Amino acid sequence: QISLLATQPFWMGYKSEIDASKEYSNFRFPFNINETGIAFSGIDLYKNTNIVNTGEVPTGLIIKIECKRGTVNNPVIYNAVNGNHFKINYSLIDGDLITIDTNKKTVLLERDAETFNLIGYKDPTSTWFQVPYGVSTFTYNADNVSENLSVIIETTPLFYGV
């Protein structure tokens, strides 16, 4: 008798990474600064981001939320299609990086070269995202200034395998 255990029964496609904060550069040549000044870069405040799952089954996400400057209170990611959200009831300071892994159901904070578990700060109404086949739209916000956030969303499509 042969017994097989497939803890991950799916083939994995290539991971894709989407920058949801949409920072852009304004620096171009020829370069000229007039009296009113010039912005070297900016952030697109229209924060909707499409995530495309090309796999055959729903897949989780890895969401990286970084505080770029100042403080940010209680960041939240929304699925704009079905209204589900994932919120962390925690205040971030400059340089903090939160990694939410909806596959492993973990929430980790990296601060000053140390890693902390923030699962206890997960809002009780939060949902562990699973992205179905096709296009899903996500957005983000915070209780104060969401412009201080950088949000990266990673997804890996899954295909029927074993």
Average pLDDT over residues 92-97: 94
State the chain's mean pLDDT as an integer: 85
On the question of pLDDT at 148 being above 90, the answer is: no
- In which band, very low, low, confident or very high, does the pLDDT at 27 lie, cut at 50, 70 and 90? low
* pLDDT of 106 over the 60 cut: yes
Rounded CA-CA distance 20/17 in Å is 9
pLDDT at 25 (0 to 100): 58
Total residues belonging to the chain = 162
Residue 103 DSSP code: T
Give tens-digit pLDDT for 35-82: 666 655 555 545 788 999 999 999 999 999 999 888 999 999 999 888
Query: Cis omega (within 30 of 0) on the bond before 30?
Result: yes
CA distance 6 to 162: 7
Nearest of 130, 160, 153 to residue 64 by alpha carbon = 153
What confidence score (pLDDT) does residue 68 get? 87
Q: Which pLDDT score is estimated for 102?
A: 95
pLDDT at 31 over 60: no
